[in-house]
């Protein structure tokens, strides 16, 4: 019985060691497998992170570049704004200076005007005292222009050069002429072709009144019918329509150039129209106002302007009027 027990002990010991060895091997194998899996998973998790970091870095660099560009633009705009503020301040100073000078000049003009008005009143009273209340000059002149007429007709060149470059001056000159005729019996406005400003007064006199004078000046601002830059038609129609032996009439011809043919032919035609068949007297006075448009604008037609001046000077001389050549459009 003792021999059997000794045989069994080693067998049992060997089996136990085998089990222990296998278990230890299994543990080692599990550790190796687990480490390999963890390493692979970690590497896989690092790859997306590396891509995201690179993308974020690129976006950061791009934003830094855009920020630098915007900062430069902002600095440039701030410099421009500073320059504009400086210019505005300078212009405001100049405007204040000009307004101050204007006010000073206006004050001086008012004082001088009052002095001249007073002097005129004193001289007029003295003249009336010496000559009597009934005395009237046969030929009243203002600025060298006879102003003894009771009816006035404006014949205005409405060509493009006049309308585009001289129209404000035309308006002022018409106002000046109306001012030296404070009271007339009739007014009419035509263009150089003989077209009426107011068709309702075709062939009729416009009664003089402050309201009608204002209407003429207001309508003139946008009045530009077709024109051939020759006053012959307008003068002829004005004389034929309005001449009357019992009326003193003056024509005022406004223009800047003459594009017609013979100057002599125009003079002869007007002289024939404006002469009485009975005694050869002039039917109406013809005054002419020359506007220097073509001497002041670029590519102006100086030759036609010179021809106009020559024509108007002789035309007014032959027809009892005065030629006024302006030297500015201001």
Contact 199, 238 (CB under 8 A): no
Residue 173 has pLDDT above 60, yes or no: yes
Instruction: Characterize 71-104 residue by residue with b for buried, 16 or more Cβ atoms within 10 angstroms of its Cβ, and e for exposed.
Output: eeeeeeeeeeeeeeeeeeeeeeeeeeeeeeeeee
Q: Taking Cα atoms as reference points, which of 156, 143, 142, 147 lies closest to residue 252?
A: 156
Residue 42 has pLDDT above 60, yes or no: no
Q: How many residues does the chain have?
A: 330
pLDDT digits (tens, 9 = 90+) for 136-146: 555 454 445 66
Give the residue extent of every domain in the chain: 141-325
Alpha-carbon torsion (316, 330, 230, 220), positive or negative: negative
The pLDDT of residue 1 is 46
- The predicted model gives 263-282 an average pLDDT of 81
Q: Taking Cα atoms as reference points, which of 227, 198, 200 lies closest to residue 215?
A: 198
pLDDT digits (tens, 9 = 90+) for 187-205: 999 999 999 999 999 999 9
Neighbouring C-alpha atoms within 13 Å toward the C-beta of 29: 6
Q: Rounded CA gap, 311 and 286, in Å?
A: 12
Q: Rounded CA gap, 173 and 189, in Å?
A: 14
The pLDDT of residue 11 is 52
Contact 139, 248 (CB under 8 A): no
Contact 238, 251 (CB under 8 A): yes
Most confident of 11-20, 126-135, 302-311: 302-311
Which residue bears the tokens 């010991």?
13
Q: What percent of the chain has pLDDT over 90?
A: 28
Looking at per-residue confidence, does 76 or 189 come out higher?
189
Looking at per-residue confidence, does 42 or 327 come out higher?
327
Pick the CATH number of 141-325 from 3.40.50.720, 3.40.50.410, 3.30.499.10, 3.40.50.300: 3.40.50.410
């Amino acid at each position: 019985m003792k021999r059997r027990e000794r045989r069994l002990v080693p067998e049992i010991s060997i089996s136990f060691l085998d089990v222990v060895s296998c278990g230890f091997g299994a543990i080692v194998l599990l550790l190796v497998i687990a480490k390999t899996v963890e390493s692979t998973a970690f590497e896989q998790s690092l790859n997306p992170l590396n891509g995201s970091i690179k993308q974020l870095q690129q976006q950061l660099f791009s934003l830094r570049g855009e920020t630098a560009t915007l900062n430069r633009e902002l600095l440039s705009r701030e410099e421009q704004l500073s320059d504009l503020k400086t210019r505005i301040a300078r212009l405001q100073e100049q405007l204040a200076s000009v307004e101050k000078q204007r006010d000073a000049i206006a004050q001086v003009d008012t004082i001088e005007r009052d002095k001249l008005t007073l002097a005129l009143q004193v001289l007029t009273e003295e003249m009336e005292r010496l000559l009597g209340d009934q005395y009237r000059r046969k030929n009243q002149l203002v600025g060298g222009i006879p102003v003894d007429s009771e009816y006035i007709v404006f014949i205005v060149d409405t060509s493009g050069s006049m309308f585009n470059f001289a129209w404000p001056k035309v308006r002022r000159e018409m106002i000046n002429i109306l001012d030296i005729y404070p009271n007339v019996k009739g007014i009419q406005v035509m263009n150089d072709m003989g077209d009426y400003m107011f068709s309702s007064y075709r062939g009729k006199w416009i009664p003089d009144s402050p309201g009608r004078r204002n209407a003429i000046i207001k309508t003139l601002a946008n009045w530009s019918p077709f024109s051939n830059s020759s006053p012959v038609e307008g003068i002829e129609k004005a004389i034929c329509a309005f001449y009357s032996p019992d009326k003193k009439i003056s024509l005022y011809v406004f223009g800047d150039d003459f594009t017609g043919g013979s100057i002599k032919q125009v003079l002869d035609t007007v002289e024939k129209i404006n002469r009485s068949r009975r005694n050869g007297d002039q039917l109406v006075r013809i005054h002419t106002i020359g506007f220097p448009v073509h001497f002041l604008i670029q590519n102006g037609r100086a030759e036609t302007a010179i021809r106009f001046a020559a024509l108007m000077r002789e035309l007014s001389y032959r027809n009892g009027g005065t030629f006024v050549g302006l030297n500015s459009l201001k």
